[in-house]
Structure 1
Amino acid sequence: MSIVIRDVREHELDSILALNNAAGPTILPLDAARFRKFFDTAEYFRIAERDGTLAGFLVGFGSDADHDSSNFHWFRAHCDRFFYIDRIVVASRRRGGGVGRAFYADAQSYAELRYPLLTCEVFLEHDADPVRLFHGSFGFHEIGQHVMPESGIRASMMSKDMCSYEWVQGTYGDALPDEPWLPRPRASSAVAADA
């Protein structure tokens, strides 16, 4: 019963979108065009599989991304450089089984080499205490609140310092070694950044 986290594949987008839109009130629903934009531009877009079955996904953007989320822009106004977790969704039958923790460990491994802060938001409506506790157990803390103009939902804006970032930057700068275990930006976002 291992959890495998890997980059999303284009043919999986419909299944992942259905998972997103079935997640309930703590995740905003999306249409296919918006989801396709995630695939085309997200720096980090990975899925989790458990026993060969889709168990969840996580989408993230670096602070220089062309991303139109009001929460992302809130962080841009309040933080210099950061990696933003736009959304994490775990299939209801897989919740409580370690998928979320595996995602956050993977996303942190990616972010700490490139950004001084890892950021996310938690909606304060809909019984947010378990979700806030989950994030607190990973070292996140609230740095402010934001009411999203598109939905009127209040969010707790959370961040976590990436303790390895300063050492990695001082040692390697932007020239990280080419190691097979080192998480890389998705090819589509690297192409978009070079364009």
Structure 2
Amino acid sequence: MKLRPMTAADVATVLALNATAEGLVEPLGADRLDWLRLIAAHAVVVDLDGAPAGFVLTFTPGSAYDGLAFEAFTQTYADRFLYIERIVIAAEHRRQGIASTVYRAIERSARPFDRTVAAAPTDTPAYAFHTARGYEEVGKQRLPDGTTTALLSKDLAA
């Protein structure tokens, strides 16, 4: 497995991967993905034996990213966090440690920010994954669609 920068050639594959995780991540179109890729701290494809097996997008404070959870983390932590906006691993590659490996890499790169943060719906595998990795719930956020998501943070300063 290797992590490599996401390119324009990856857009169709990334959109297809994202569609497999709808309900856990927001829907994504080509124009939005192009914009996110340009402003992201990390826009990375998980390459497994030469084929994309997943992707991740992260954002730093001060970026033009416009998500509600990102805004809440900015109000709470100012410029001391790296936001994991989404990670998607292809269904056939889940539960093989790939997401954990990606998270270890993200957390290493986030040390200068003191913490990584993410949002996940409660009572989902995503929430359980984060809490098992040491993320703590620091708040809840009501979304425009009426659902509630948990705001999660992992302190990396120690």
Amino acid aligned to 1:42? A
Pairs aligned (count): 157
**Separation in 2, partners of 1:14, 1:161:** 35
Asked which structure has the greater RCO (Cα within 8 Å, sep 6+), the reply is 1
Counterpart of 1:157 (choices 137, 146, 151) is 151
For 1:20, the aligned partner's letter is N
Give secondary structure in 2 for the equivalent of 1:68.
coil
Provide the secondary structure at the position in 1 that maps to 2:17: helix
Is the contact made by 1:118 and 1:161 (CA closer than 8 Å) also made in structure 2?
yes
In structure 2, C-alpha distance between the alignment counterparts of 1:24 and 1:68, rounded to whole Å: 19
User: How much does 1:152 deviate?
Assistant: 2.5
**SS of equivalent to 1:29:** coil
Structure 2 residues not aligned, in runs of 5+: none
Give 1:45-194 correspondences, 5 Å limit. 45-80=43-78, 81-112=80-111, 114-124=112-122, 127-128=123-124, 130-149=125-144, 151-163=145-157
CA contact (8 A) 2:121 2:127 kept: no
* Structure (1 or 2) with the larger CA radius of gyration: 1
SS in 1 for 2:46: strand
For each residue in 1:104-141, what CA deviation from the matched residue of structure 2 results, as whole angstroms up to 9, or x when unmatched? 011111111x20111001112xx41x322211221110
In structure 2, distance between residues paired with 1:85 and 1:152: 22
| Runs of 5+ unmatched residues, structure 1 | 165-195
- The residue type paired with residue 39 of structure 2 is T
4+ residue stretches of structure 1 with deviation over 6 A? none
* TM-score normalised according to structure 1 size: 0.76
Percent identity, aligned pairs only, is 28
2:146 alignment partner, SS class:
coil
| Letter aligned with residue 50 of structure 1 | L
Q: Displacement, 1:22?
A: 2.2
Identify the structure with the greater strand proportion. Answer: 2
